[in-house]
Amino acid sequence: MVIIMLGAPASGKGSVAEILSNEFKIPAISSGDIFRKYISNGSEIGKKANEYMTKGELVPDDLTVELITSRLEEDDVKDGLILDGFPRTVNQAKVLDEMLEKKNKKIDIVVNLETPEDEILERITNRRICSNSECKAIYNTVLHPSKVEGICDKCGSKTYQRDDDKLEKAKNRLEVYYRETAPVADYYKKTGVLYSTVLSKSVNRMKDEVAKDVIDYLKK
Ligand code: ADP
Ligand code: ZN
């Protein structure tokens, strides 16, 4: 099974991906997490990616594709995978089609999370993440705060705000999203695998409801 998560930054892609990953027992692969791992290792690749990430811009396609390609060579994806944060450009989507074809895999569903823009900015700036790289639990200071402020419920490590989640950078990332990533949904619409769905507190439809609908859809 191949599942692609699309949606604006902090739209809930990672949270929905985690539920789907547990349900279908397939790994959720976050391109942002891959970059952050290279950055924390202090590698040259990480330094290069970080130049773009700190500005809220996209990492160039060639580097991104290289890292995703090597991740998809690993053993754990043979029964399926969830991609969270890749593809983010139409070019990346085309490259992914080629990669999957070589592996005799096809995309089962592209889950496109639709969240109102004002809510997105709020979600980005209120997002906090567990600093433990084995845990990476995601919190929101308003929607679902950790029980003790600044401390992860699951593992007790400190939570932190990503630098690119601060307001000015968040605004830039949203612009990039509308310009570069929103057209990826149109690309998948043409191939008939697009499943667009609202995730918004304004209609009280959050990650659990969305994930349940996706699971029901895939089990049909
Ligand atoms: P979010 O889902 O909140 O936007 P991510 O962790 O997915 O955060 O991405 C963080 C940053 O990593 C992006 O702003 C971008 O700089 C870089 N990035 C992640 N995925 C890609 C991608 N597929 N192509 C280019 N850059 C990417
Ligand atoms: Zn934790």
Residue carrying the six token digits 């906090």: 128
What is the chain's mean pLDDT, rounded?
A: 96
- The correct CATH number of 2-115+168-219 out of 3.40.50.720, 3.40.50.300, 1.20.1510.10, 3.40.50.10140 is 3.40.50.300
**Rounded distance between C-alpha atoms, residue 147 and residue 153, angstroms:** 6
CA distances from 19 to 30, 37, 82, 123, 210 (A): 14, 22, 11, 19, 10
169 lines ligand 1 (CB under 6 A): no
**Rounded distance between C-alpha atoms, residue 206 and residue 200, angstroms:** 6
Question: Checking DSSP bridges between strand 127-130 and strand 138-140, what pairing results, if any?
Answer: antiparallel
Ligand nearest, relative to CA of residue 68 = 1
Residue 81 CA to ligand 2 centre (angstroms): 23
Q: Domain ranges in the chain?
A: 2-115+168-219
The reported pTM is 0.94
Question: pLDDT of 28-64, one tens digit each?
Answer: 999 999 999 999 999 999 999 999 999 999 999 999 9
> Of all atoms in ligand 1, which is nearest to the CA of residue 13?
2
123 lines ligand 1 (CB under 6 A): no
6 lines ligand 1 (CB under 6 A): no
User: Which residues face 84 on adjacent strands?
Assistant: 5, 30
Q: Please count the other Cβ atoms lying within 10 Å of the Cβ belonging to residue 22.
A: 11
Residue 58 CA to ligand 1 centre (angstroms): 6
Question: pLDDT of 100-112, one tens digit each?
Answer: 999 999 999 999 9
Question: pLDDT of 150-188, one tens digit each?
Answer: 999 999 999 999 999 999 999 999 999 999 999 999 999
**Rounded distance between C-alpha atoms, residue 161 and residue 74, angstroms:** 30
- Measured in whole angstroms, the distance separating CA 40 from the mean position of its chain's CA atoms is 19
What pLDDT does residue 220 have? 87
Q: How many CA within 13 A on the CB side of residue 178?
A: 9
